[in-house]
Structure 1
Amino acid sequence: MAKAKFADRFEAGRRLAVLLDGLDGDVVVLAVTRQALPVAFEVARALDARLDGVPGDARAWRGEPPRIELAGREVLLVDDGTCKPARFAEAAAAVRALGARRLTAAFPATTRELEEEAARTVEEIHVAEPGDPSYGDDSPVTGELAAELLERALELYATGPRVELRTHGVHDA
């Protein structure tokens, strides 16, 4: 069996965040799927950016999410590299419909098909590792974990990036 590219999605997010360090401005990080939320959490934390799920999906992850205004903003769509290309296209269309100024996609690793779809729907793409994604811990992201990460991201944004979360292997850098 081949060695996994990433120990888990949190590690994948931390490695992806290094690649995205040059992003500036008031970027909003949106997880494309619930499974991508740990990746997006680490990216948002590193960029000191707001985090949520793609509009419409986040409600299923955590009650009614705080509404983040996307009109005129740069949006970073983060996925773990495993979503279906059509799902990514739907997410990008939903964010554009809310008036996002610019869309960037970011993946720790991704399938060729997903990267090709992203190239058709966003202005810029970042991929940390070549090839298909693989995770040593490929556990599903539960609704409980998703709600916890979204709540913690809200707290981090409000208080700054030095608050620590030790649950589920999330730590300050």
Structure 2
Amino acid sequence: MFGSGPTFSDREDAGRQLAEAMQATLPSDPVVVALPRGGVPVAFEVAQRLGVPLDLLIVRKIGAPGHPEYGIGAVVDCKEPHVVVNEEAARHFHVPPGYLATEREHQLAEIERRHRMYFGEDEPQDHDHAGRDIILVDDGIANGATIRAGIVALREMGVGSIRIAVPVAPRAVLEALREEVDGIVCLSAPEHLDAVSTHYDDFAETTDQDVVRLLKEARRLTRMIQ
């Protein structure tokens, strides 16, 4: 489902709109999986409004040399950490020998830190969704490197299906992702996207503390439903 044009007041508003758009296409027993940090407030609203569990998949962007905001790849937290490189994006920059390997180690250290903070003493099986239908949520897609890393990790996990749900993404990236997943819900798909933040009135940084708070609240609400 592709739309065009809306601006979201904040990530919570985007999540509410996504949940409404997904009502008619919801799998029977899904898990909402967020890409932290910015995807967590969006996914929290989706999970609560659809009455399904919330989990995280920690993915770290690899920025271009000298341009850390521009992703040329990503590292994902899974049994065997993966590096997914956006070859088209990487061609626009001179990537020195060893740069990707060095960045991989830096991002793996940050992934380990976040894993301890977000999950504490959880066992690996607490986040194993083999056979489940996954709704993968972020606050937007720029060039697709991060979400592709998430797809790779979920496929390795052996999930039943993967649906992407994002408020905004470039149309060309969505068309390319169509072949990699089982469904896409996107509320705004412009031809050109300079920055995800331009589609939000409030795009304040989501902190680690925000992520921990929302995870605790999601678990509390899930226990109440059960």
* TM-score of Structure 1 vs Structure 2, range by shorter chain: 0.7 to 0.9
- TM-score, with normalisation over the residues of structure 1? 0.82
| Greater C-alpha radius of gyration | 2
Distance in 2, matches of 1:82 and 1:60, equals 26
Are the equivalent residues in 2 in contact too, given 1:89–1:117 (CA < 8 A)? no
**1:160 pairs with 2:162:** no
How far residue 112 of structure 1 moved from its aligned partner, in angstroms, is 2.8
- In percent, how many aligned pairs have the same letter? 31
**1:121 pairs with 2:180:** yes
Are the equivalent residues in 2 in contact too, given 1:30–1:52 (CA < 8 A)? yes
Are the equivalent residues in 2 in contact too, given 1:88–1:118 (CA < 8 A)? no
Q: 1:155 to 1:94 in 2, by over 3 A?
A: same
SS in 1 for 2:149: helix
Are the equivalent residues in 1 in contact too, given 2:31–2:135 (CA < 8 A)? yes
Equivalent residue number for residue 54 of structure 2: 51
How far residue 82 of structure 1 moved from its aligned partner, in angstroms, is 3.6
- TM-score, with normalisation over the residues of structure 2? 0.64
Q: 1:116 to 1:76 in 2, by over 3 A?
A: same
Q: Deviations over 1:66-115 (max 9, x none)?
A: 62331111000011114541111110010111110100001112123542
Q: 1:42-121, aligned counterparts within 5 Å?
A: 42-54=45-57, 56=77, 59=115, 62-64=118-120, 65=122, 67-82=126-141, 84-121=143-180
Equivalent residue number for residue 26 of structure 1: 29
* Bigger share in strand: 2
Distance in 2, matches of 1:60 and 1:18, equals 33
Question: What 5-or-longer segments of structure 2 have no aligned partner?
Answer: 59-76, 78-110
Compute the RMSD of aligned alpha carbons. Answer: 2.3
